[in-house]
Amino acid sequence: MGLTGLGTPICIGLFCKKRSRNFKAYIARAGKMKKEYCGLFGIYGHPEAARMTYFGLYAMQHRGQESAGIVTWDGTSIREQKGMGLVADVFNERHLGKELKGDIGVGHIRYSTTGASLIRNAQPFLVKFGDLHLAIAHNGNLVNTLELRQELEAQGSIFQTTMDSEVFVHLIAKNLNGNTIEDAVMKACRKCKGAFSLLIMANDKLIAVKDPNGFRPLAIGRVGDNYVFASETCAFDLIDAEEIRPLNAGEMVVVEGGKLTSYTYCESAPKRQCIFELIYFARPDSTVFGEVVYERRKKMGAVLAEEQPVDVDFVMPFPDSGNYAAVGFSQQSGLPLELAMIRNHYVGRTFIQPSQDMRDFSVRVKLNPVKSMIKGKKIMIVEDSIVRGTTTRTRIKKLRELGAREIHMRVSCPPIRFPCYYGIDFSSKGELIAANSTEEEIARFLGLDSLHYLSIDGLLSSVEDKDSYCLACFNGDYPIAPCKGYGKMCLENEG
């Protein structure tokens, strides 16, 4: 038996990035900062599995806009449809009604955190191993990708993508000889280090797995008599599914014949859930890691108001990221909340970019201030995070031009000073303004009268399970150290 699929082998190259503490060099590097990553959805036993998977992915579109894919199983064969772009652009009625037949479905939306944005890297990743059809969808980042891939290639494995997710496929195939698919998956996961939530379709079985630290969210639900899985519970709401529980760290569940069986595949490890899910990534109407996102963001804003109050005329967010923290700040401080910046909800990925001499136009077209609210006013802006700061700087400059008397900013998370190795796309200190500048320097760069970030203690007081979150991007305390040669493009051919 052999492992087969589409594509060609990809050589391994190392990726590195020069760092600089020089502000001028920093500005030259800075561009649009994408913070989304991946979303997973799976369903077992539903006669319209493809359509339900489509709706689930549609609800989680905010988690990734580069590519989308759905695979289905009809009892004898597996079918797939993948493409670059948004969910609504990749799938049509022909795919959902006729081509993607079957009652088991797995879907994936992607923002690349390892590997380039290419169709060959779109997921779910599909292979055939003898009589076994295997499809895998992955959210997270492995930190030992390079060493595992080199080891597997030395043993004869031929890789067809530059995704760390493909490592799982080869490890599973390697461990299938004489073992069940359940044993093979568990053995593969024990070899992998880092963040991974997985959905795996193996013929008529649907398997869900979470890494030992539980970095990435994955929840179990039911719609009727059918089990469903999703990165966020907002996907359950759209299909009228009931949430059962989050998948536990170090847990694998297998659905076969409508029955769910749970396994613990590794020894317990300290739980280190990504707190950025609550700060930024997840939709506010989702429950993630058992916490209601809307409530957590309001609490962050309230604590922020307690930590550093200020005398201003009103509080405003930069929509939509700061909306819910701004509500909490307003309620705690007693200051009025004004929506003095209006978002254009109809600006999409395909909006035609203007010429270089209008390089700020793409920022202005998304958010525009209400001019009468700004002139002569003392304003408090609440944001959820500052990564590079270049977009924020442009918006502050516009408020100054409109005659704002004072502009203050409060940020509902601590300064991001360290790279993330577990699935957030800021993998170099040189990309992080807070890694290279003091709070006062950042305030001057942005054009603010004052700036305050939520403290780490304040952040932890805003969540329920205080000891379970990863704070590495704030304090550099990495639960799992990356292996040598790690980087977003570490598997790309640089030749």
- Give a yes or no: residue 98 inside a domain: yes
Q: What is the CATH number of the domain that holds 129?
A: 3.60.20.10
Does the pLDDT of residue 171 top 90, yes or no? yes
Does 206 share its domain with 93? yes
Does 418 share its domain with 318? yes
Give the residue, 4 or 379, on which the prediction is more confident. 379
Does 322 share its domain with 439? yes
CA pair distance 327, 7, nearest whole angstrom: 49
Structure tokens at 272: 């280190």
CA pair distance 438, 435, nearest whole angstrom: 8
In the prediction, which pLDDT does 20 show? 35
Helix, strand, coil fractions of the chain, as percent rounded to 5: 30, 25, 45
Does 205 share its domain with 326? no
Does 355 share its domain with 421? yes
- Order of strands across the sheet that contains 226-230: 78-84, 67-73, 104-110, 39-44, 226-230, 219-223, 242-246
- Give a yes or no: residue 140 inside a domain: yes
Choose, from 11, 16, 38, 483, the residue flagged as catalytic: 38
Does the pLDDT of residue 495 top 60, yes or no? no
Does the pLDDT of residue 15 top 50, yes or no? no
Average pLDDT over residues 172-195: 94
Nearby residues of 361 by Cβ (< 8 Å), 6 or more positions away: 353, 354
How do residues 326-354 score in pLDDT, each as one tens digit?
999 999 999 999 999 888 777 654 444 45
Average pLDDT over residues 142-147: 91
In the prediction, which pLDDT does 65 show? 87
- Give a yes or no: residue 281 inside a domain: no
Binding residues: 274, 420, 470, 473
How do residues 190-235 score in pLDDT, each as one tens digit?
999 999 999 999 999 999 999 999 999 999 999 999 999 999 999 9
- Give a yes or no: residue 13 inside a domain: no
How do residues 399-455 score in pLDDT, each as one tens digit?
999 999 999 999 999 999 999 999 876 656 777 999 989 999 999 999 999 999 999
In the prediction, which pLDDT does 281 show? 92
Q: Are 453 and 414 in contact (CB under 8 A)?
A: yes
- Give a yes or no: residue 29 inside a domain: no
Does 436 share its domain with 313? yes
Binding residues for [4Fe-4S] cluster: 274, 420, 470, 473
122-136, 145-159, 448-462 — most confident range? 448-462
Does 299 share its domain with 441? yes
40-49, 103-112, 156-165 — most confident range? 40-49
Does 248 share its domain with 348? no
Q: Which of 269, 284, 317 is the last residue of a domain?
A: 269
CA distances from 76 to 6, 93, 102 (A): 20, 23, 9
- Give a yes or no: residue 231 inside a domain: yes
Does 196 share its domain with 308? no
Residue 45, Ramachandran bin (φ over 0: left; ψ between -120 and 50: alpha; else beta) = left
Does 240 share its domain with 383? no
In the prediction, which pLDDT does 368 show? 86
- Give a yes or no: residue 355 inside a domain: yes
Q: Which of 204, 236, 269 is the last residue of a domain?
A: 269
How do residues 259-273 score in pLDDT, each as one tens digit?
999 999 998 899 999
Q: What is the CATH number of the domain that holds 375?
A: 3.40.50.2020
Residue type, 344: N
38 in active site: yes
How do residues 67-116 score in pLDDT, each as one tens digit?
999 999 999 999 999 999 999 999 999 999 999 999 999 999 987 544 45
Residue type, 228: V
Does 192 share its domain with 250? yes
Does 260 share its domain with 337? no
- Give a yes or no: residue 390 inside a domain: yes
- Domain hosting 201: range is 39-269
Q: How many domains does the chain have?
A: 2
